[in-house]
Amino acid sequence: MQTPRRVEHQQTDRGYVPVYATGVVEQPWDNYTATDHQVWNILYERQRALLSAYACPEFLEGVERFGLGDGGIPRFDHLNQVLAEATGWQLVAVEGLLPDEVFFDHLANRRFPVSWWIRKMDQLDYLSEPDLFHDLFGHVPLLLNPVFADYMQAYGRGGMKAHAIGPEALMNLTRLYWYTVEFGLIRTDAGLRIYGAGIVSSKGESIYSIDSPAPNRIGFELARVMQTRYRIDTYQQTYFVIDSFEQLFDATGPDFTPLYAELATRPVHAAGDVLEGDKVYQRGTREGWATGGDN
């Protein structure tokens, strides 16, 4: 495999992160090595076996429809045929993390940027920036779900707006992305399930987010999410739980401009805080909300 073109490091809201060349590239599929394909296969098999009991049905359906387990790193042009027909989204290959405005512009136009390079064999369990496995396996299956697909596009448009308003608004919006697209949980008939890409692409956090009694699991509330800081270097201390993708889409439909103004007057909460009025899922079980208490 070639090496990704890293341009510089930059201090951002999310800490000190590498910033890459911003252009779209051709997926260099012929240059993947046998080891690259093997890394995909190992990660795929491991997550697919685990996630039957942990991921939401919409995610699992997407994985099957794309044939992500057909063996080896999938070809973006094949996935794009499926996507075009289903929801009109397209994958574009990129070098890695993009500046906010570039990223928002892609989403607003129903293009999802996917890092073309995959992690090394000694990085199976953790790596500090998104690679092909995270971007593709984590994010792309839900782009086949019409409601989630529309949410992602709306997020891109909202991002351009927030960017124009200022850094605080952008931080509020980034937290929404973090706690939904990356680390969201959803209630289903089968109990609590994962839909967030940052979780489904991590074996450890898949188990932790659902089964561990340690983290808070709080019912989704837009303002609450936007006021909650997050950590990028540990498993989450708090997950926000939606009831459905429709709930998420509807709750984020209204113009955020007045909300940003109001939030600027309110305190920000630490990642691990539980507040009065939070609807809390109390135990690490997949069975449902705790009864008793005032939930």
Q: Which residue has the tokens 């539980």?
A: 274
Q: Residue 158 binds which entry of Co ion, ligand PHE, none, with Cβ cut-offs from 5 to 8 Å by kind?
A: ligand PHE
Closest-CA residue to 191 (of 241, 239, 140): 241
Residues 6+ positions from 150 with CB-CB distance below 8 Å:
249
Q: Give the x/- contact pattern for ligand PHE in 165-184, rule: CB under 6 A.
A: -----------x--------
Residues 6+ positions from 206 with CB-CB distance below 8 Å:
47, 50, 51, 54, 55, 194, 199, 200
| C-beta closer to ligand PHE: residue 24 or 102 | 102
Contact range with ligand PHE by CB under 6 A, out of 40-48, 107-115, 154-162, 229-237: 154-162
Does residue 152 interact with Co ion by CB under 5 A? no
| C-beta closer to Co ion: residue 194 or 197 | 197
Q: Residue 252 binds which entry of ligand PHE, Co ion, none, with Cβ cut-offs from 5 to 8 Å by kind?
A: ligand PHE
Report which residue type is found at 167: P
Q: Which residues pair with 241 in a beta bridge?
A: 185, 219
β-strands 191-194, 185-188 pairing: antiparallel
From residue 278, alpha-carbon distances to 60, 80, 156 in Å are 29, 40, 28
Q: Give the x/- contact pattern for ligand PHE in 206-245, rule: CB under 6 A.
A: ----------------------------------------
| C-beta closer to ligand PHE: residue 104 or 281 | 104
Does residue 195 interact with ligand PHE by CB under 6 A? no
Q: Which residue has the tokens 């920036």?
A: 129
Of these, 6, 46, 65, 161, which contacts ligand PHE (CB under 6 A)?
161
Of these, 74, 141, 158, 219, which contacts ligand PHE (CB under 6 A)?
158
Of these, 203, 210, 252, 280, which contacts ligand PHE (CB under 6 A)?
252
Q: How far is the CB of 256 from ligand PHE (least distance, A)?
A: 4
Helix axes 34-51 and 203-211, enclosed angle (nearest 10): 10
Q: How many alpha carbons lie under 13 Å from residue 226 in its C-beta half-sphere?
A: 22
Does residue 256 interact with ligand PHE by CB under 6 A? yes
Which residues of the chain form contacts with ligand PHE (CB under 6 A)? 151, 154-155, 157-158, 161, 176, 252-256
